[in-house]
Structure 1
Amino acid sequence: MTKAKRGIYAAAVTPFNEDGSVNKDLLIGYCKHLMSDGGCDGVAPTGTTGEGTSVAMRDRLALPEAFANAGIATDAVIFGTGAPAAEDCVALTQSAVAAGYMNALVLPPYYYKNPSDDGLFAYYANLVEKIGSDDLRIYLYHFPQMSAVPLSTDLVLRLRKEFGGIIAGLKDSSGDFEQSRAFIEATGGVSEDFDIYPSSEAFLWDGLSIGSAGIISGSTNVFANGVQAAKSAPEGSERNAAMEVVKTARAVAGRYPLMAAMKQIEAWRSGNDLWTRMTSPLVPLTAEQKSGLRADLEAIGAMPASAV
C-alpha cells in the first residue's frame, strides 16, 4: 500500500538555520511530535506553510532521505514537490520516491499565468512519465490565491482518467468550501478512492459528510488535537460543541500571518527561538502581533504549557 493514509495532516512549518538552510534534525523531531502529542495522523512538509517554494533545492532534495533514515512512516508523509520548472518537479519527486515516500503534493507550474489545461496536463503527464512508477501517488494542489494558476475540475478528471490511481487526490486551499464540494462531486471523493483535503479544519465535518479524506491545514501545527476531538465526537450537541472549539481556534490563527504565527507558537512550546526565523520575503511576528497572539491563545486555553 503506497497511498498516504487519510486523516488530519499538518502542513508542517520548517525550521531554518542562520545560513538559511533547513535544520533537518529539528524538522524531523518536530514532525514526530506532530504525529504523537501533536495529534496529527500525518504531515505535509515543504508545502506553503512550510515555506516550501523558498527552501533551497539542495535541502528539498535531501529531506526525504533524512526522513527515511529517521524511520518516519512513508504512508504518513506527503512531500510538497511542485516547482515552476517541470524537471525540478521531477527531481524533487524522484528524491521522495527513492526514499520510499510515494505521495507528492504538486503545485501547478506557477510562474506563467493563464496556462491552458493542455499545458497543465502536459506538466503533470511529464511528471508521471519521468518517475515511471505505478506506485507514485500525486495529490494535485489547488491554491489559486498563491499560485494564480487554478486547477479546473475538467483537468482533474482528465488526469484521473489518463493515469488512474497515480492521481490520488487533491488539496483544495481555495478557502471556499463550495470549491471543495465541486471537486468531491466531480470525482466521487473517497467513494471513488480520490482523496480530497480541504485546507481549513473549520470545514472538517462538512467535508467528511460528503466524501473528503480529512484535512491538510497550516493551523493543525497547533490545533490538531482539537480537530481530532471534533472528528471523533458523536453526532449532535457534542460534535457541534467540539466544532465550535475548532472554528474558534482557526479564527485565532487567521488573525495573524499564518506561517509566522505557527512558528512563534512552536518557539514558545519548545523554548527554541530558532523557530521564529523566516525565509525572505516573509518576516517574524512583530512585538505587537506576538502580544496579541499570546493573549488570544490564553483566552481560548491554547497557550503551550511550557510558555505559561
Structure 2
Amino acid sequence: MPRKIELFVPAITPFAADLSVDTERFVANAHRLIANGAHGLAPFGTTSEANSLSVAERMEALDALIDSGLDASLLIPGTGCCNAAETIALSAHATQRGCRGVLMLPPFYYKGVSDEGVFNAYAQVIEAVGPDLRVYLYHIPQMSGVAITLPLIERLIARFGDQIAGLKDSSGKWDNTAAVIAAFPQIDTYSASESMIPQNIAAGGAGCISASLNVNPTGIRALVDGLNGPNHDALHAQVSAVRTIFEGIPLIPAIKAAIAAQTGEVDYARVRPPFVDLGDAHADAVAEAVRIAGPQRPS
C-alpha cells in the first residue's frame, strides 16, 4: 500500500505588543494554513521560536488550537527540551489531548554526548509518558549539536517499536535522509525542504515539514498533488524559488514578515529576542517571496 504523503507546517508563533503569545492570531494562522492545503501542523519547532516559549505557553497555545475545533490528529507539536521533566510534561499533555504524536529534539545543551546518552534521554521520556506516546525524532544537528544517528534510531525502534513514528531530517543533507528512509521504511521520514519533495517521495519518504510552508502552502501542496504530472517542473521551480529566497535571509523574521505582508496584519512580523524584526533590510526579498507564492486563502 503506498505511503500517504503529507505536509506539516512548523507554524509561527505570533506575539502581542508585550511579547506575550498572541493566541488569537496563532489560532487564525493555523486555520489559514490548513485551508491552504497543509495536511497538518508541527507547532513549537524551530520556526515557532519554541525555545523562547515557556512550557505553560506551549500547553496553553496547543489547547487553544484544539479547543478552536482543529482536529488534534493533525498536530505534531514540538516537545523536546533540555531537561526530562519539561519534555515529559509537554509530551504527556500533547498525548492526552489526542495529538498524532510529538516532534522531539534530543537534549541539546551538552555537546559531544554519546548515542547511549541520547537513547537514555528518549527512553526516559517514552517510559514516563506511556504506550500512547508517538515520537517523531527531530534531527537538526546544525542547531542542536546532537545528531540522531542510524544506530540510535535502530536501537529506539528495537526497544519501543511503533512508538517511534517518524523523523524530521533538517540536516539539509539528502544522503542522510535517503539513508534513514532506506534503513527504516516503517517510519515516516520528512524532509525539511520542499525542494527535496520529489526525491523524498520517490525514495519512500513521507513528505515535508518546512518553514516556508507558512508562506507557500498552496504552491507546495500543488507540487505534491501534481508530482510527475505535466506541470511538475514548473511547480517544483516555484517552490524552490520561494525556498531559495528564505535560505538567503534571516529565516524566522523573514517568514513572519512575509505572513504579515500576506495577511495585511503587521503584528504577525513581531519576534521575541534574541531575534530582531527584519525591518526594511530584506523587504524586497520578502516581497518577491510573497509574489512568487501568490494569493493564499485568508482562512
Both proteins in one fold, TM over 0.5: yes
Identity of aligned residues (%): 35
In the other structure, the counterpart of 1:160 is: 157
More moved, 244-253 vs 143-152: 244-253
In the other structure, the counterpart of 1:171 is: 168
In the other structure, the counterpart of 1:135 is: 132
In the other structure, the counterpart of 1:81 is: 79
**1:225 counterpart (209, 218, 228):** 218
1:245 aligns with 2:238: yes
Provide, for residues 183-214 of structure 1, a one-character-per-residue CA deviation record: whole Å limited to 9, x for no partner. Answer: 111112xxx2x000010000001000111111
- Flag the 1:293–1:115 CA change in 2: closer, same or farther, 3 A: same
In the other structure, the counterpart of 2:29 is: 30
Q: Which amino acid aligns with 1:60?
A: R
- Unmatched 5+ stretches in structure 2: none
**Distance in structure 1 (CA, Å) of the matches to 2:11 and 2:281:** 25
Cα deviation, residue 61, structure 1: 2.3
- Unmatched 5+ stretches in structure 1: none
| 2:9–2:40 CA contact under 8 A, matched in 1 | yes
In the other structure, the counterpart of 1:95 is: 93
| 1:172–1:180 CA contact under 8 A, matched in 2 | yes
Cα deviation, residue 178, structure 1: 0.9
Provide, for residues 38-73 of structure 1, a one-character-per-residue CA deviation record: whole Å limited to 9, x for no partner. Answer: 221111111000001111222012222222211211
**1:275 counterpart (264, 268, 277):** 268
**Distance in structure 2 (CA, Å) of the matches to 1:186 and 1:151:** 14
In the other structure, the counterpart of 2:121 is: 123
| 1:78–1:104 CA contact under 8 A, matched in 2 | yes
Q: Which amino acid aligns with 1:239?
A: H
| 1:68–1:100 CA contact under 8 A, matched in 2 | no
| 1:102–1:137 CA contact under 8 A, matched in 2 | yes
**Distance in structure 1 (CA, Å) of the matches to 2:31 and 2:296:** 17
Cα deviation, residue 261, structure 1: 1.2
**2:294 counterpart (262, 283, 302):** 302
**Distance in structure 2 (CA, Å) of the matches to 1:288 and 1:20:** 22
- Flag the 1:17–1:234 CA change in 2: closer, same or farther, 3 A: closer
- Flag the 1:296–1:101 CA change in 2: closer, same or farther, 3 A: closer
In the other structure, the counterpart of 2:281 is: 288
Cα deviation, residue 296, structure 1: 5.0
**1:215 counterpart (208, 213, 216):** 208
**Distance in structure 2 (CA, Å) of the matches to 1:174 and 1:80:** 17
- Flag the 1:13–1:301 CA change in 2: closer, same or farther, 3 A: closer
More moved, 279-288 vs 207-216: 279-288
Cα deviation, residue 304, structure 1: 6.7
User: Cα RMSD over matched residues?
Assistant: 1.8
**Distance in structure 2 (CA, Å) of the matches to 1:238 and 1:102:** 32
**Distance in structure 1 (CA, Å) of the matches to 2:289 and 2:225:** 26
- Flag the 1:275–1:202 CA change in 2: closer, same or farther, 3 A: same
When normalised by structure 1's length, the TM-score is 0.91
- Flag the 1:296–1:47 CA change in 2: closer, same or farther, 3 A: closer
More moved, 197-206 vs 243-252: 243-252
Q: Which amino acid aligns with 1:31?
A: A
**Distance in structure 1 (CA, Å) of the matches to 2:170 and 2:43:** 15
**Distance in structure 1 (CA, Å) of the matches to 2:264 and 2:280:** 17
SS in 2 for 1:260: helix
**Distance in structure 1 (CA, Å) of the matches to 2:297 and 2:27:** 22
- Flag the 1:296–1:116 CA change in 2: closer, same or farther, 3 A: closer
